[in-house]
Amino acid sequence: MSNVPGLFVTGTDTGVGKTLVACAIIRLLREKGVDAVGFKPIATGEVAGRWHDVDALFEASGECEPREHLCPMRYRAPMAPVPAARIEGIDPDISLAHSALAELAARHALVVSEGIGGLLVPLDRRTLVLDFIKLTGFHAVVVCKAQLGTVNHTLLTLRELERAKVPVAAVIMNVTRPEDEPNARPSVEEIERHGGAAVRAILPYVGASSDPEAPHTELVARAIASLSQQIKVTQLAGR
């Protein structure tokens, strides 16, 4: 997978807005004429037979692929991947996701993948999210939130990526609650001072969703309006 152009959107935690940012990047790239497609190796937390974060990636990708191609491993329980799979009597094997990603990359110019939770979430008995990113060869986009504690969480994430020799394309801070807005800029200054990576954008509060990892279409549109003023996505994607 190392020769396939791609970005991997990871987060400092769950609920930071990875899907929101991934969908905005995909949409912006497609608007620029880049055949970008979304991907998520594993999703958990079925709601009425649907995984809403997968639906969001499906819509952002222009519905160009079936949902099962965009996310090949889906489990019903709203838990971490390994225990969620075990409830269904499955011993997860992330090689299934690698195969699906390779097939998707063969049909599209660029893949924007997103993880689940943070870097050290196990995807199967042997593989962490960080291991999966490294095997793809993709550059990382780190999404953090403006809440208290974000400096520590973001610096830990950047340190792990550096240790694994995964290049960081961008850090994006997402304001997930309006009351956290005053904490955004001071936190960015500390992250940049100690983390060795520029925070390329601060995404203001764009509204509430019933699931912070599954944004409504209008929330993605608001994110696009903000990110397009701060980031050139074609440069972000190495184009």
Q: Return the ∠ at Cα 169 (arms to 163 and 170), rounded to 5°.
A: 100
Residue 48, C-beta contacts closer than 8 angstroms, at least 6 positions apart: none
Catalytic residue among 40, 134, 165, 232: 40
Distance (Å, whole) CA 50 – CA 68: 11
Q: Return the closest-CA partner of residue 111 out of 145, 73, 157, 64.
A: 64
Given a contact cutoff of 8 angstroms between Cβ atoms, the answer to whether 143 and 15 are in contact is: no
Distance (Å, whole) CA 35 – CA 58: 14
Given a contact cutoff of 8 angstroms between Cβ atoms, the answer to whether 80 and 44 are in contact is: yes
Q: How many residues does the chain have?
A: 239
145 an active-site residue? no
Establish how many alpha carbons lie within 13 A of residue 144's alpha carbon, considering only the half-sphere containing its beta carbon: 33
Give a three-class secondary structure readout of 99-138.
Answer: HHHHHHHHHCCEEEEECCCCCCCECCCCCEHHHHHHHHCC
Q: What are the residue numbers of the active site?
A: 40
